[in-house]
Amino acid sequence: MNKSSHGKAGKMVVGGMLVALVLLGQLHAGESHHATHSEEGAIGASVEELLALVRTMNPELAAMALEAEAAAARVEGSDALPDPKLQVTFEDISKNSSGLPSRVSATKLIVQQEFPLWGKRRLKRQVAEADHHKAQGEQAALTAELLGKVKTVYAEYHQIHLSMEQNEELISILRTLVRVTQARYAQGAALQNEVTAAELERGGLTAERVRLGNERKKLKARLNALLNRAPEAPIVEQPRLRTIPATSALDFGQLMPRLLETNPQLAKDRATLTAAQSNRELASREWFPDVGVGMGIVKRQNETDSFEAMVEMSIPLQWEARRARENETVAMERASQSRLEAERTRLVAELQEALLALESARGVEQISKESLLPQARMALQSALRNYENGAGESLQVLDAVQRLKKYRIEQIKAQYEQQMRLADIERLIGGEL
């Protein structure tokens, strides 16, 4: 076999290797999400597993649950009567020859109890109950926020995993391309800039490998922090994303009533408004007097014991203080009402925006998967065949590699965007879809 035929055969073998690498990468990219990882002690095979863990392990949620429990305890004693008073009175104290107290002619022991009237105790209990509901709303809002963070970080973790897989696929192609280009350059069949361009592209992908590896470590630490675990605690390296619900399940008309009814922030704002209304009504009742009653025994020297009863009534004379308190509660009620309406408008708009963004990302992923990526892989295979047959340059192969990388990144970003928007929607409606 002469040198020319040997070189041609070598080029065909190497070119065939390149095409095989592309086909292998295509298969790998299509099946990577089915892989499993058996790292000992690792968690996170699915986002549902992490969501269950964050509910029980996150310290912020534990603290918020205790605050809600404290608010519930305050309800029990909110409508209790004031403490009774014991009054001891010494009457007709005589003086001795030295001018000091000597003899008490009568001693009174009286127990007094104040009774708030006009429904004041009921209103105080309503305020306490509203504060409890507000604490529950804050707990639910924090839960929704933390669950949303877990879903978002987990989706980003999956995005990094797919990016690393793609990067390794392209590095394999570029590694072989560099060897082929160097061999052709040695034979005078390629230019120096072809070798340099291939090496630069491979170097860029190698640097990207380092960046992606560090980014994955950061995301792992962030997930572990949400779960109250050590930063380096094991998490599976091949996560599995949730299935995006069908378009029919993401109808704005169906989800908006659910948002208005179960959104944690709206529940919290409604409880705040209820408390403000009860406080305003309570302030108006402060213009009415309260009543106190008392009963006691009177002990006199050398006389039979007798009893004594009394009724007292408060006189609401501090008009300025009561008027200021009333104005304050009216303003707080109006502020709470305005805040609730503004929050409702904002959340409805946010829901609409999230739904539109999810459907847009779904469309981008579908186009990338069904059209752009297959065409990019075909273009890369064609460029490799031309290069194999001496009809093209390595720069054409590099251009095809970059296009494939671009479309694959767009697909990965679209998948991540869908997971992000799904997490936003579930946070807004206060539950899972």
- Nearest partner of 68 among 254, 243, 267, 232, judged by Cα: 267
Q: What is the pLDDT of residue 23?
A: 45
Count of helices and strands (H, E) across the chain: 10, 4
- At 344-363, the pLDDT tens digits run 999 999 999 999 999 999 99
- Point out which residues pair with 297 in neighbouring strands: 109, 307
CATH number of the domain where residue 91 is located: 1.20.1600.10
- Nearest partner of 166 among 25, 65, 270, judged by Cα: 25
Q: What is the pLDDT of residue 9?
A: 41
Measured between alpha carbons, how far is 177 from 203 in angstroms, rounded to an integer?
13
Q: How many CA atoms lie within 13 A of 391 on its CB side?
A: 7
- At 126-145, the pLDDT tens digits run 889 888 988 888 888 889 88
- At 38-91, the pLDDT tens digits run 456 688 888 888 888 888 888 888 898 888 888 888 888 888 888 899 989 888
Q: How would you class 142 by CB atoms within 10 Å of its CB: exposed for 0-12, middle for 13-18, buried for 19 or more?
A: middle
Domain of 365 in residue numbering reads as 3-429
List phi, psi (to 5°) of 231: -55, -35
Biggest CA-to-CA distance, the chain: 146
- Residue by residue, pLDDT tens for the chain (433 residues) are 444 444 444 444 444 445 445 544 544 444 444 444 445 668 888 888 888 888 888 888 889 888 888 888 888 888 888 889 998 988 877 776 676 666 777 888 899 988 888 888 888 888 898 889 888 888 888 898 899 999 999 999 998 999 999 899 888 888 888 888 888 888 877 778 888 888 888 889 899 899 999 999 999 999 898 988 888 888 888 888 888 899 989 999 999 999 999 999 999 999 999 989 988 988 888 888 889 999 999 888 777 778 888 888 888 888 888 888 889 899 999 999 999 999 999 999 999 999 999 999 999 999 999 999 999 999 988 888 888 777 777 788 888 888 988 999 999 999 999 999 999 999 999 888 8
H or E element that contains 430: none
Q: How many domains does the chain have?
A: 1
